[in-house]
Amino acid sequence: IDWKKLTLSTTPFLVHSYLKTNPTIIISDVEYLQKMNTLLQNTEPRIVTNYILLRWAGSWSQEIGKKYEDLQQEFAFQMYGRKQRQPRWKDCVSSAGGKLSYASGSMYVRKYFDANAKSTTLDMISDLQEAFRNMMHANDWMDAETKKYALEKGDQMLKQIGYPDFILNDEKLDDWYKGLDGAPEDTFSQLVEKSIQWRNNFYYRRLLEPVNRHEFISSAAVVNAFYSPTRNAIAFPAGILQQPFFDARFPKALNYGAIGAVIGHEITHGFDDTGRQFDNVGNLRDWWDNTTSAKFTERAQCIIEQYADVQLRGTDLRINGKLTQGENIADNGGVKQAFKAYKSFLEKHGGQEPRLPKFESLSNEQLFFVGYAQVWCGAKTPETKTLLLLTDPHSPETARVNTVLSNQPEFAEAFKCPAGSPMNPTKRCVVW
């Protein structure tokens, strides 16, 4: 592949002068590109062309006619079990929301977001960071210098909660979309094309500017959370600060078990197999002592092998432990942090909180783990499970609950699991 020719043909002219200066390019997955190069060299051009056209038709199926929509629906039924297409208006909302994320986020926040959730989440993040610091101090496998820098990186992690303030200012929001001009006579497809071109130009232009670590990572109207290694920043959009992850009326046990574990998960990403390669301001830099780095690799290998031994129920397929190691490290570290933060909260508030009505038989500690587990409830077709097992860096939901909690001795203690049982094994894998 002529990478220079390919890059220049797929990027805006405004960055060509910069690209011709031979800048340093960070490749996040070298092995993938090497295998893709080999695959392209050994595949007929006609097949490659057909594949590209297939992917194009799939992404534009809603715009290019009912024939393609019907084919897409048949595929969705076989793959995801979706029995009928969603209403057209939902397609339009999803497309517009994705292309104009800050504008749609502004509408969502104004109508649905509880401003108090922002301050409550910041308090929980502070609790989780304190738990992380305590875990780091208790760490017995890191040298003093690497540990000191890890603590500094954790303390300097930027926090983005809910939404960026400017989206509630109409003038600033309009300024953000300057250069994106739609005409009344434009078709929906033309508007989509214009928004894609504007977005590409906007983000490629960033190559010519200093990095802004404080720019919000995501739209507010997204049910997800993020860690950016190149900014050393965690983000929790308004969309995830709601049930089942968070509700100010819930017992703290549920909130710490759900959104608390998500917060811990994102913090831990700063120290997983990828995040640990970046420094406190997001530069790719090795700040690890060689001996400590080797010990991390040894602990990560335990996680890889443990998950690789997990078989997907009803199949002969197993989890790809290497593909999922970063998310598995984050899952395990996140729950551990969240539980320690919750126990610290209890100590500061009398040692106990009121039991959940109709669930009085569950202790505070048990309710914490139930809160964690219930956010991973879900149903997928066998085809979807197989696809995700092959491509998703996250483990299946069952492993995100059972394997993670089997690594937490506090779970076994809370539920009195017999020694040597699946949820109280003799060997556990712990990175953080």
Q: Which residues are catalytic?
A: 266, 331
Q: Could you give the CA distance from residue 211 to residue 246 in angstroms, rounded to a whole number?
A: 32
Q: Which tokens belong to 150? A: 């890890």
> CB 72: neighbour CB atoms within 10 A?
18
* Long-range contact pairs involving 35-40 (C-beta distance under 8 Å, separation at least 24): 37/1, 40/1
User: Which residue from 78, 48, 36 is spatially nearest to 386, judged by alpha carbons?
Assistant: 78
Angle in degrees, 0-180, between the axes of helices 325-348 and 290-308, rounded to the nearest 10: 100
Rg (CA), the chain: 24
Task: Tell me the C-alpha distance between 294 and 291, whole Å.
Answer: 5
Q: What is the DSSP string of 222-239?
A: -S--EEETTTTEEEEEGG
Phi-psi region of 27 (alpha: psi -120 to 50; beta: other; left: phi over 0): beta
Phi and psi torsions of 427, nearest 5° = -115, 130
CA dist 416 and 419 (Å) reads 9
DSSP annotation of 102 = H
Q: How far apart are CA 385 and CA 397, in angstroms?
A: 10
**Using CA atoms, how far apart are residues 266 and 3, in angstroms rounded to an integer?**
33
Task: For residue 158, list its beta bridge partners.
Answer: 233
Residues 223, 148 contacting (CB under 8 angstroms): no
Give the C-alpha separation, 299 to 431, whole Å.
Answer: 5
Residues with Cβ within 8 Å of 51's Cβ and at least 6 positions away in sequence, in order, are none
